[in-house]
Structure 1
Amino acid sequence: MPDDKHPPLSSSSTGGGDPAEPSAIHDPEGTPAPETPMTKPKGDDGFGLGYRFFFRFQYALLHVIGPPRLTASMDPRTKLKQDYDRRRALNEQWKAAKAKG
C-alpha cells in the first residue's frame, strides 16, 4: 500500500513533480534576484536635522574647550567628522536608491 504522505524514493527533484514548478537550483533564464529596497537609515546611522545640529555643536565645542590635536585614532574631532561623513554617504546612497527605484 503506497504512503500518500511521502513521495516515492525513485523520483528525483528534477525528474518528478510538476515541470512548471520553478527550481531554486537551476535558473535557465538567468534572471537576477530582486533587489531589496534600501531602507532609510535610522538609529546609529540616521542623518536627521537633530543629528546634524548636534554634530556641529559638539564639533565647535570640542574646538573651543576640547583637547589639543591628537593622533587621528585618538582625536575626538576626527572621530566625529568620520562618523558624520559615513552617515552622510549612507544618506546619499539611500536618496539615490529612492530616486532610482
Structure 2
Amino acid sequence: MPDDKRPPLSSSATNGGSPAEPSAVHDPEGTPEPETPMQKPRGDDGFGLWYRFFFRFQYTLLHVIGPPRLTASMDPRTRLKQDYDRRKALNRQWKAAKAKS
C-alpha cells in the first residue's frame, strides 16, 4: 500500500530544489575564501632534526645490514627514502607559505 504522505521521487526534495533557487554553496562572484595559514607539519609529517638524523642512521644501517635490493614496493630503503622526500616537500611547502604571509 503506497504511503501518500511521502513526496514523489521526482519532487524537488530529492533533486536538491529547483534550479532557480539560490544555494548557500553557489558563489556567482567567485569570491576567494580567506586563506588560512598552513599549520606546521607535526607527528607523522614532521621533519625535525631528530627525524633527519634518525633517517640517515636507519638508511645507513639498512645499507650495511639490510636486505639486498628488492622490488620498489618491497624495498625498505626505497620506502624510507620516499617518506623522507614526502616530508621534505611538505616542510618546504610550509616554509614557502610562511614566507608569503
TM bin (shorter chain): 0.7 to 0.9
Range 42-51 or range 27-36, more displaced: 27-36
SS at 1:62 equivalent: helix
Does residue 1:95 correspond to 2:95, yes or no? yes
TM-score (structure 1 length as normaliser): 0.72
The amino acid that maps onto 1:74 is M
Residues in 2 aligned to 1:54 and 1:90: alpha-carbon distance in whole angstroms: 18
The amino acid that maps onto 1:80 is L
Residues in 1 aligned to 2:87 and 2:26: alpha-carbon distance in whole angstroms: 39
Which stretches in structure 1 are left out of the alignment for 5+ residues? 1-13, 15-23
Identity %: 86
- 1:30 deviation in Å? 3.6
Which stretches in structure 2 are left out of the alignment for 5+ residues? 1-21
User: 1:20-76 deviations in whole A, cap 9, x for unaligned?
Assistant: xxxx55656542111111000000000000000000000000000000000000000
CA RMSD, aligned part only?
A: 2.0
